[in-house]
Amino acid sequence: MSATTRTKHSHDDAPDTAEAFDRLVGLSEGPERKALKDELIQAWLPMAERIAVRFKGRGESLEDLYQVAALGLVKAVDHYDPARGHAFEAYAVPTITGEIKRHFRDHMWTLHVPRRVQDLRNRVRSSAKELSQLTPGRAPTVAEIADHAHLSEAEVLTGMEALDCFSTLSLEAEMPGTDGYALGDAIGGPDPAYDVVVDRVTVKPCLQRLPERERTILYLRFFGGMTQSRIAQQLGISQMHVSRLLSGCFAHLREEMLAEVH
């Protein structure tokens, strides 16, 4: 299909590279194909960077977003087929956008990390990458990264820790060294006893001020699990008397509690 019948791109400043893509398809791997491919990437790089700018302010530096967008552009150039009749832009825009979204999905911060720590993380990552090219076969040391990035070793360690803060571990993840024991299994559940801790601490002085017989009746009823009839038998009084004493205790405690609150 000729360039004149192919779908046009939507931006007026988009480069006209239809003929170049037609030539690229006919070239086998080699220096000529690589040079033409590099020219196409450079021609469309401004568009890729404009797409990257749309995603700024979401926790990633613009420089990193440019790199991700450029990677998406390279993939688009590699897989674009002009014979399908669509302009390169129509194929490249969703490819680049998808690459950026995939980057956020895989590497987006799930914990709030201060901007300074994010910057340290970016500098540490960039320096480690550059040093790895200079010293192939081994990872750069903390001291080497610190010297290369003009940071202290403590700052490098902070940046390295931040590299692991993009995503949280699933509660369903199996814990190392266990046989199917999930992380969530190590987390305790809510304890209903905590709901009454404050009430117990608050009422304790009020209970201590009650007469001994009333304290005994309350203890037998609520800690000994005894019925009013059994309490009456143990104390040698009537069940009705026990009921009146309990009601009086409740009223007295309620008044004291309300008085302390106000």
Quick: pLDDT tens for 183-225. 666 676 677 777 777 777 878 888 888 899 999 999 999 888 8
Q: How many domains does the chain have?
A: 3
Nearest residue to 3 via CA among 78, 80, 88, 95: 88
Q: What is the CATH number of the domain that holds 52?
A: 1.10.1740.10
How many CB atoms neighbour CB 13 within 10 A? 8
pLDDT score for 175:
66
Q: Which of 85, 107, 129 is where one domain is finished?
A: 107
Distance CA 166, CA 104 (A): 9
- Domain for residue 7, yes or no? no
Q: Are residues 99 and 125 in the same domain?
A: no
41, HSE (Cβ side, Cα atoms, 13 Å): 19
- pTM given for the model: 0.41
The residues facing 174 across adjacent strands are 182
Quick: pLDDT tens for 34-52. 999 999 999 999 999 999 9
For residue 136, give Cα distances in angstroms to 128, 141, 148: 11, 13, 16
Q: Which of 73, 107, 141 is where one domain is finished?
A: 107
pLDDT score for 75:
92
- Domain for residue 13, yes or no? no
Q: Are residues 203 and 234 in the same domain?
A: yes
Crossing angle of helices 62-79 and 88-107, in 10° steps, is: 130
The total number of residues shown for the chain amounts to: 262
- Domain for residue 140, yes or no? yes
Q: Are residues 24 and 94 in the same domain?
A: yes
Q: Are residues 49 and 130 in the same domain?
A: no
Q: Are residues 201 and 159 in the same domain?
A: no
- Domain for residue 63, yes or no? yes
Q: Are residues 210 and 248 in the same domain?
A: yes
- Domain for residue 149, yes or no? yes
Q: Are residues 84 and 25 in the same domain?
A: yes
Q: Are residues 102 and 145 in the same domain?
A: no
Q: Are residues 92 and 26 in the same domain?
A: yes
Q: Are residues 96 and 159 in the same domain?
A: no
The token pair at 113 is 């990390």
Q: Are residues 74 and 124 in the same domain?
A: no
Whole-angstrom distance between the N-terminal and C-terminal Cα of the chain? 86
Q: Are residues 144 and 73 in the same domain?
A: no
Q: Which domain holds residue 246?
A: 192-261
The residues facing 182 across adjacent strands are 174
Q: What is the CATH number of the domain that holds 246?
A: 1.10.10.10
- Domain for residue 241, yes or no? yes
What residue ranges of the chain have pLDDT lower than 50?
A: 1-12
Instruction: Identify whether the C-beta of residue 88 lies closer than 8 Å to the C-beta of residue 80.
Output: yes
- Domain for residue 89, yes or no? yes
- Domain for residue 174, yes or no? no
pLDDT score for 174:
67
pLDDT score for 70:
94
